[in-house]
Amino acid sequence: MPAYKDDKTGKWYTKFYYKDWQGVNRQKWKRGFATKKEALAFERDFLEKQSTNPDMTFQALYEIYIEDMSGRLKESSIQHKKNIYETKILPYFGKMPINEIKATDIRRWQTQIMRDSHEYKDTYLKSINNQLSCIMNYAKRFYDLNTDPCGKAGSMGKSNAEEMEFWTLDEFLAFRDAIKDKPVSYMCFEILYWTGIREGELLALTAEDINLTEKSIRINKTYSRSKGKDVITTPKTKKSKRTVPIPDFLFQEVKDYMDRQYMLDPKSRLFPFTKSFLAHEMKRGSNASGVKKIRIHDVRHSHASLLINEGYDALVIANRLGHEKVSTTLNTYSHMFPHKQKELVDNLQNLGEKAIPTPASPDDIFSLDIFEDTVEETVTANFPPTPVGPVPKEKVPGKVIQMPIRNIV
């Protein structure tokens, strides 16, 4: 691992060979290091990333993982991963070789995260732990890591929240009255509540997405903010691309809002704001109305709760919300369905009562008339009727043979 000093600049540089992913030998140059140690460190780190040696540090694995995933995931997903890794995981594991990370190290890290982050919800703790599991599984699959410290250590947090925050219809109406002084805020939350679309899907809507004939809203993109720029990408999943029918009153409100826009461009966003604007309006409306403050995403849960209370089944709700699988709907909102069990049992009771015949009363069972009729029917059934007139000769099948008459002396 040689390093050389450039006599002209006084800086150090390194020159070495490595094999790329196709097994071809290539030469690598890198200049401008202040010290020989920095040049050698660069060469060592570079070669470590190019090899399948699990001795690489967690930091090196992270850089490889993010570069690989950048071409496979949306930018918003990559930013979400980076935020968790760089703030919650790398400060603890960054300098450790990945093959030296043990289950006990992960348990200590989990304890530190849970102790220092009391404000985090269980679902977010689960998300943090999942990101560590993802990158360690990546190392097992592609870099021959033969240990499973995450599996041994177990997880932290919970996949589903024990209690889900949502608004009842009365709470939403009270909140809506508190923000109606701003037509754009009123319109945003009106669409969110009555359609259940995601906030990113709302902020990506254009005039072209409003079907004035079918009275529906087309969802085919989502909005996010990354590095100070607006980013429009495809929705979260394939099923997220959908058409959401809307009631007449909401259609009229959307149409009136569009008519009030000056020189509305069909391809421009109807709501040219960021998610922070919605969060601000949520806080303002909650304070003014006295309604409990919930997350913007919880307005989507409020719509699902409304549909469940109206008796719609999980398949209809899944299609409207754009869930990839019905199981997602059931797993997310299963705690909202138990009250339907009572309704189900009552319906079964009504059906059962119609199917069971009404039994006779005890007085009818022991009535003399019924008893006599029963005896008569029994006798008639066991004995043939008595013939009237001469008894006919019994006919014997076959040929009859005459017996001889004998005289007795």
Neighbours of 293 (CB within 10 A): 13
Q: Average pLDDT, stretch 90-111?
A: 94
Gap between the Cα atoms of 307 and 329, Å rounded:
12
Tokens of 223: 């909005």
Same domain, 202 and 233: yes
Tell me the two tokens of residue 76: 């918003």
**CA 180 → CA 15, 186, 210, 378, distances in Å?**
67, 5, 22, 85
Q: What are phi and psi of 79, to 5 degrees?
A: -65, -35
Residues 234 and 312 reside in one and the same domain: yes
Residue-level pLDDT at 118: 66
Q: Hey, how many other C-beta atoms are within 10 angstroms of the C-beta on 129?
A: 23
Separation between Cα atoms, residue 195 and residue 179, nearest integer Å: 19
- Examine the domain organization and report whether 180 and 146 are in the same domain: no
Q: What is the dihedral of CA 377, 383, 389, 394, to 10 degrees?
A: 150
Write down the pLDDT at residue 106.
Answer: 96
pLDDT level of residue 61 (50, 70, 90 thresholds): very high
Task: Please indicate whether residue 366 or residue 221 has the higher confidence score (pLDDT).
Answer: 221
The pLDDT confidence band at residue 51, using thresholds 50, 70 and 90, is: low
Of the pLDDT bands very low, low, confident and very high (cuts 50, 70, 90), residue 310 is confident
Measured CA to CA, the distance from residue 87 to residue 117 in angstroms comes to 12
Res 395 pLDDT > 70 = no
Q: 227: domain CATH number?
A: 1.10.443.10
* Domain presence at residue 298: yes
Same domain, 215 and 328: yes
Residue 222 has pLDDT above 80, yes or no: yes
Mean pLDDT for the stretch of residues 402-407: 56
The Cα-based distances of 132 to 67, 284, 373 in angstroms read 16, 37, 85
Dihedral pair phi/psi, residue 12, rounded to 5° = -95, 150
pLDDT at 392: 56
Task: Pick the last residue of a domain from 153, 184, 204.
Answer: 153
346 has a pLDDT exceeding 90: no
> What value, to the nearest 5°, has the Cα angle with vertex 390 and ends 384 and 394?
65
pLDDT value at residue 11: 92
**272 and 324, same domain (yes or no):** yes
Residues 195, 139 within the same domain: no
pLDDT band at residue 110 under the 50/70/90 scheme: very high
Q: Which domain holds residue 299?
A: 169-338
In the chain, the percentage of residues whose pLDDT exceeds 70 is: 80
- Same domain? For 308 and 224 the reply is yes
More confident residue, 101 or 349: 101
The pTM (predicted TM-score) of the whole model is: 0.66
Angstrom distance (rounded) from CA 338 to CA 341 = 5
Report yes or no on 72 lying in a domain: yes
* pLDDT surpassing 70 at residue 223: yes
Task: Calculate what percentage of the chain has a pLDDT beyond 90.
Answer: 49
Residue with tokens 């209690």: 163
Distant-in-sequence, close-in-space partners of 119: CB < 8 Å, separation ≥ 6: none
Minimum mean pLDDT range among 155-169, 194-208, 313-327, 388-402 = 388-402
Which pLDDT band, with edges at 50, 70 and 90, does 351 fall under? confident
Q: Is position 364 within any domain?
A: no
Residue 359 lies in a domain: no
Give me the number of domains the chain comprises: 2
pLDDT > 60? residue 261: yes
pLDDT band (50, 70, 90) for residue 263: confident
**CB 138, CB 85: distance < 8 Å:** no
Whether residues 323 and 281 fall in one domain: yes
**Average confidence score pLDDT of the chain:** 84
Mark which of 318, 338, 358 sits at the end of a domain: 338
- Tell me the pLDDT band of 334, cut-offs 50, 70 and 90: low
Let me know if residue 349 belongs to a domain: no
pLDDT at 292: 94
Q: What is the pLDDT of residue 82?
A: 94
102 and 174 in one domain?
Answer: no
Q: What is the pLDDT of residue 295?
A: 92
Which among 294, 315, 338 is the end of a domain? 338
Q: Indicate if the pLDDT at residue 153 is higher than 90.
A: yes
pLDDT at 28 over 90: no
Same-domain pairing of 175 and 147: no
Please report whether residue 350 resides in a domain. Answer: no
Rounded CA-CA distance 265/384 in Å is 99
Q: Is 193 exposed, middle or buried, given 0-12, 13-18 or 19+ CB atoms closer than 10 A?
A: buried
Q: Find out whether 221 and 232 touch, Cβ atoms under 8 Å.
A: yes
Mean pLDDT throughout 315-330? 85
- Model confidence at 288, pLDDT cuts 50, 70, 90, reads very high
Q: What is the rounded average pLDDT of the residues 128-157?
A: 92
184 lies in the same domain as 251: yes
The residue among 135, 50, 142 whose CA lies nearest residue 101 is 135
Same domain? For 178 and 143 the reply is no
Does 385 reside within a domain? no
- Is the model's pLDDT at 323 over the cut of 60? yes
CATH code, domain carrying 15: 1.10.150.130
3-state helix/strand/coil string of the chain: CCEEECCCCCCEEEEEEEECCCCCEEEEEEEEECCHHHHHHHHHHHHHHHCCCCCCEHHHHHHHHHHHHHCCCCHHHHHHHHHHHHHHHHHHHCCCEHHHCCHHHHHHHHHHHHHHCCCCCHHHHHHHHHHHHHHHHHHHHHCCCCCCHHHHHCCCCCCCCCCCCCCCHHHHHHHHHHHCCCHHHHHHHHHHHHHCCCHHHHHCCEHHHEECCCCEEEECCEEEEECCEEEEECCCCHHHCEEEECCHHHHHHHHHHHHCCCCCCCCCECCCCCHHHHHHHHHHHHHHHCCCCCCHHHHHHHHHHHHHHCCCCHHHHHHHHCCCCHHHHHHHHHHHCCHHHHHHHHHHHHHHHHHCCCCCCHHHHCCHHHHHHHHHHHHHHHCCCCCCCCCCCCCCCCCCCCCCCCCCC
Question: What is the arithmetic mean of pLDDT over 273-282?
Answer: 95
Condensed to tens digits (0 to 9), the pLDDT of residues 178-208 reads 999 999 999 999 999 999 999 999 999 999 9
| Residue whose token pair is 């469940």 | 308
Is 214 among the domain residues? yes
Res 157: pLDDT? 87
